[in-house]
Structures are given as structure tokens and as C-alpha cells.
Structure 1
Amino acid sequence: MLNLFARGHVNRLTDPVGRRLVALGIGPDTMTVLGTVGALACSVVFLPTGRLVLGSVLVTVFVLTDLLDGAMARARGHGTPFGAVLDSTCDRMVDGALFGALAWWALTGGDEPVAAAAALVALVGGQIVSYVKARAESVGLAAEGGLVERAERLVLGLLGAFLAGLGVPYALTVALVVLAIGTVVTLGQRILAVRRSSREVPRA
């Protein structure tokens, strides 16, 4: 949902940076891999050990590089099929590391079993939401949109972790429960979108 409203504004900020990086000889795929490695490392090193403020800030910094690889592809004038697959694969890896790390902390140092359960629901549900879209597109159907897409998942998860690190009571639990519910709703929306698309194909 955030993508629909923020994409144009974000592109105006990232496109000049993307052009500069391309001019320096850096490729979009390199930026994708660097951002992914950084986000994975910060997720598994800082979040499970309770350093939630530092971890959430660093993961956010590396996640933002996901905006730059798209800007760099636009600066080159084209993307590549490999780059699209790499970007999507890396997104799934970061999501898994982030919410797996939050679930681990919630079950151990955080002693918040509800947050842990919600994190796992958000993790598995988010992967399925992405799979539904990819599978639908592979057979010529559409499965766009939804209440909670990747941007919302990251914002809620990282904001909840940051506030919990500052000592705000139940911040992570509330954020992850809202996220889990939103993810389930989004999965239903995607399935309905595929159903509508499948009904339109024979008439097209």
C-alpha cells in the first residue's frame, strides 16, 4: 500500500544517487547483494541478543539500499531478468532473517511469546503472499496490491523493535500482532485478486 503513495516521491530522491553510483561503475546487482548481506548480518547479530535499537537502525539503513538498486537500474536505462530474480530472492532472505531474529529474541530475552508467534505468522504469511503473486504471474494472472506488502512489513517490524529497544511496553507485541493480522488479510486479498484475474482471462 505504501508503494502506491510513496514511490514517486522516493524515486525523486534516489534517482540522482542511483545515477551517481552507476557513473562510479557500481552495478545494481552489487548494491542488492551488499544491502542483503548487511541486513542479514545485522539481523542475526544484534536483534536476537536484545540490541534492538542498534539492530533496527542498521537493518533499516541496509534495507534502504533496496531502493537504490532500482534507481541504478533506471539510470542504466534497463533492468535484467537476473536482477529481478536476485532482488526478489534477497528480499525473501532479509524478511526471513528479520522476523526470525525478532521471534528468537521474543522467545528468549524478551519473554514475549505472543510477539514470537505473531512474528512467525508474519514471516510465513509474508512469504506466501509473495509466492502467490509470483505463481500467479507465472501463469499469466495478476495478484497485485493488498493491505500489507513488504514495505509495511518492514516498517511495522523495525519500528516495533526500535520502540521496544527504547523500553516502550508491548511495542513489539502490538506491532507484530497488527502485522500478522494484516498479513493474513493481505493473503486473502491476493487470492481473491487471482480468482478475479482468472475469470477475466477467458473473456480477454
Structure 2
Amino acid sequence: MAKSFNTVGRAFMARIIDPLGRFLVRVGVTPNAVTVIGTLGVITGSVALVARGYLLSGLVVVTLSACTDMVDGAMARVKGVTNRFGAYLDSTMDRIADGAIFGSVAFWLLSEGQERAAAAALLCLVAAQVVSYAKARAESLGADCSVGIAERPERLLIIAVGTLLAGLGVPYALEVVLWLLAALSVVTVVQRVLHVREQLVGESVGRVEKER
């Protein structure tokens, strides 16, 4: 279901993003520049707005900045090239952006005396990094790790909904959403570990049997 949602959502957004990507390529902007600018926008919106309690305006800035993650991909498609450094940079900037978002939410919650919700935000922060690391490490070992119910698009969507509800004054909405997201992220980590374990342990057993 998540895969279907992502596929439909990305196809819809491509109709909007691709023309912008073509324009930026024509004027000489590089995909890597867009990646860095988008990350700086996320950091600015998170630290300068969300961390200070301006949740709705911060949400707008962070959301618009996060959309550059699709723009740089559209630009790469237009140029018809695969840039390994670009992929590395994009992944690294995603980790920085995630840290800024969840760190700022946790900071604001602590300043408001909401320790339980802040703890959930910190757990989301750690789990998000582990989810991404688990996939990167698995792929470096030659294993497939494209599984999990809470990948990055889902995590960003969920925290955006929670922030929106909190900004509109819905009580306990952000705390509930954060604990839900924390649980989903932990489940995703477990899913990935088990998925990779099945591949790598099976590979080791097969090698031993072959050597015999």
C-alpha cells in the first residue's frame, strides 16, 4: 500500500516538478546546488521557526524546502546523467535535514515542558537515522533492503501532519503522532534487519555447503 501511495504521489508531483527541473537546467543551476539550498532551507525553517514555536510558518518553509529533493532528481533526469556523488550528497543532506527537523521539534517541546513528547521526538530522530543507515549498510554488502512501513517520505508526511495539528491548537496531537512515528520507525528497523539477515545468513549457509 505504501509503495502504491508513493508511486501515485511521485507521478503526480512529477507533472509539477519536471518543468521546474527543465527550467533550472536551462539557466545553468546544478542538481547539487539545489540539494544544498533545499537542505539549508529545511535547517532555517526548523531552527529559526519550529524551534521557536512558529509551527505553521515553519511547516511551510520546511515543506517547500524538502520539495527540492524531487527537483534535483528531475534535473538529473533532464540532463540524462547519473551522478554518484550527487546521490551521495543527496543522502547526506537528507540525514542533516532529518536531524534539524526532529531536533527542532524536540527542542520546542522541551521548552514547553512536554518531556514525554520531546522523548518521542528524540526517539524518532535516532530511529530515522538507523532506518537509513540499515539500508545503506545493507546495500554496501550487496543485499537488498527496500522494505519497511515508514520510509523517509512517510516519516516526513506523518511529522508534517502532527506539526500542522499542533499549530492549529489540537491538544496532544503532536505527541500522539510522534509516538506513532517512533513505533513505526522501530518496526521498520526490525523489518530491515530481518530482511537482510535472511539474505546474508542464507548466503553464508550456501557458501559453506558449496565448499563442502
Give the shorter-chain TM-score range: over 0.9
Q: Which residue of 1 aligns with 2:195?
A: 193
Q: Does 1:96 align with 2:99?
A: yes
Identity %: 48
Which residue of 63, 76, 79 maps to 2:79? Answer: 76
Q: Distance in 1 between matches of 2:173 and 2:193?
A: 30
Which residue of 14, 17, 20 maps to 2:17? Answer: 14
Q: Distance in 1 between matches of 2:100 and 2:193?
A: 26
Shift of 1:4: 4.2
Shift of 1:17: 1.8
Q: Distance in 2 between matches of 1:200 and 1:24?
A: 51
Report the residue type matching 1:43 in the other structure. Answer: S
Q: Secondary structure at the match of 1:157?
A: helix
Which residue of 44, 69, 80 maps to 1:41? Answer: 44
TM-score scaled by structure 1?
Answer: 0.94
Report the residue type matching 2:49 in the other structure. Answer: F
**Equivalenced residues, count:** 203
Report the residue type matching 2:104 in the other structure. Answer: A
Q: Secondary structure at the match of 1:169?
A: coil
Report the residue type matching 1:169 in the other structure. Answer: P
Are 1:56 and 1:159, in contact at CA under 8 Å, matched by a contact in 2? no
Q: Which residue of 1 aligns with 2:210?
A: none
Question: Runs of 5+ in structure 2 lacking a partner?
Answer: 208-212
Are 1:73 and 1:79, in contact at CA under 8 Å, matched by a contact in 2? yes
Q: Secondary structure at the match of 1:168?
A: coil
Moved more, 41-50 or 7-16: 7-16
- The root-mean-square deviation of aligned C-alpha atoms, in Å, is 1.6
Greater fraction helix? 2
Shift of 1:10: 2.6
Q: Distance in 1 between matches of 2:96 and 2:180?
A: 22
Which residue of 126, 129, 136 maps to 1:127? Answer: 129
TM-score scaled by structure 2?
Answer: 0.90
Question: Runs of 5+ in structure 1 lacking a partner?
Answer: none
Which residue of 97, 114, 117 maps to 1:115? Answer: 117
Q: Does 1:156 align with 2:158?
A: yes
Shift of 1:199: 4.4
Report which structure shows greater RCO (CA 8 Å, sep ≥6).
1
Shift of 1:79: 2.5
Q: Distance in 2 between matches of 1:136 and 1:60?
A: 29
